[in-house]
Amino acid sequence: MGEKKQKEIGKRRYGILIFGIILVDHIIKFLFISYFPQKVFVNTGISFSFLADTHSILTIVLHTCGVMVMVYLLKSSQPKIAFLLLLAGGLSNLIDRIVYGGVIDFIRIGSLPIFNFADSIINLGLVIFIIYIVKDWMSRLDET
């Protein structure tokens, strides 16, 4: 199989992963909105309701910039899965902002801020990226 064909298959898989995460997130949100509306919170801020009192255009601009950075980083040599997860979660939350005027949050665990499935995917991507950075840093230390 040629290199061009492999890249095409890889891009298709990336798209399927991103679409699948967004689809699952929105199915879960739909179910909560439909069957447990009292458990739903519309977060007009960014992560953990930070900047909740700012204008919604600011948060859309921040999300859009984040998505653009993720697309750029996907073209880099960094671990793709981490950025795919960050991109999928960010896009899903951006769709919420456009459709609902804020992100639909519904998961409450103890005293943690309320969050959603897309937020969990974003955090998983961050953990994978941090592990990659630490492993890379440690291998560079071993070289010296």
- pLDDT digits over 115-137, tens only? 999 999 999 998 998 898 888 88
Average the pLDDT over 84-107 and give the result.
90
Contact (Cβ atoms closer than 8 angstroms) between residue 26 and residue 89: no
Position 90, amino acid = G
CA gap 106, 127 in Å, rounded: 22
Q: Whole-prediction pTM value?
A: 0.79
Element (H, E) at 71: helix 56-74
Q: What is the pLDDT of residue 90?
A: 87
142 is catalytic: no
User: With pLDDT > 90 as the criterion, what percentage of the chain qualifies?
Assistant: 38
Residue 14 has pLDDT above 90, yes or no: no
Please, what's the b/e burial string for 30-46 (b: 16 or more CB within 10 A of its CB; e: otherwise)? eebeeeeeeebbebbbb
What are the tens digits of pLDDT across the range 25-59? 999 999 999 999 999 999 877 665 555 566 566 66
119 is catalytic: yes
Q: Which of 53, 119, 136, 142 is catalytic?
A: 119
Element (H, E) at 105: strand 103-105
Q: Report which listed range, 16-20, 51-55, 61-65, 91-95, is most confident.
A: 16-20
What are the φ/ψ torsions at residue 79 (nearest 5 degrees)?
A: -65, 120
Query: Regarding predicted confidence, which is higher, 21 or 86?
Result: 21
Count of domains for the chain = 1
**Domain encompassing residue 111:** 3-143
Q: Which of 25, 105, 136, 142 is catalytic?
A: 105
Q: What is the pLDDT of residue 89?
A: 92
